[in-house]
């Protein structure tokens, strides 16, 4: 007598539920990371711009506002920027949190920190 082998209906449903849950989480997380990399790209462009070397804080914020509009950055506002100088170079940084609801009272939150400071990963 041979035993049957294969997946049961309940097993397939459980695997399906896990896959759907993972897909929902990925669909919530990926846009936040895309925007984080857009923020880093804007910061890098600002740090490389020679006009920003001696710019005032207000000029830096204005430049960020223009660049973030073009880069579709909505999570970081010009007022959220920390602007300083280190070794004569402009250092722009921002720390922010993104909260994404999943369903019911369950959600995900992610903390991001982007900076143009020397020695930070870009």
For the segment 21-73, what is each residue's pLDDT rounded down to a tens digit?
Answer: 999 999 999 999 999 999 999 999 998 888 888 888 999 999 999 999 888 89
Strands 106-115 and 82-86: unpaired
DSSP 3: P
What pLDDT digit, counting tens, does each position of 93-103 carry?
999 999 999 88
């Amino acid at each position: 007598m041979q035993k049957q082998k294969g997946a049961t209906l309940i097993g397939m449903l459980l695997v399906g539920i896990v896959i759907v849950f993972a897909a929902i989480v990925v669909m919530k997380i990926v846009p936040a990371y895309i925007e984080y990399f857009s923020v880093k790209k804007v910061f890098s462009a600002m740090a490389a711009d020679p006009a920003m070397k001696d710019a005032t804080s207000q000029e830096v914020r204005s430049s960020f506002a223009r660049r973030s509009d073009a880069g579709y950055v909505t999570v970081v506002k010009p007022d959220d920027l920390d602007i300083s100088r280190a070794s004569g170079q402009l250092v722009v940084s921002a720390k922010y949190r993104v909260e994404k609801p999943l369903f019911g009272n369950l959600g995900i939150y992610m903390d991001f920190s982007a900076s143009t400071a020397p020695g930070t990963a870009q």
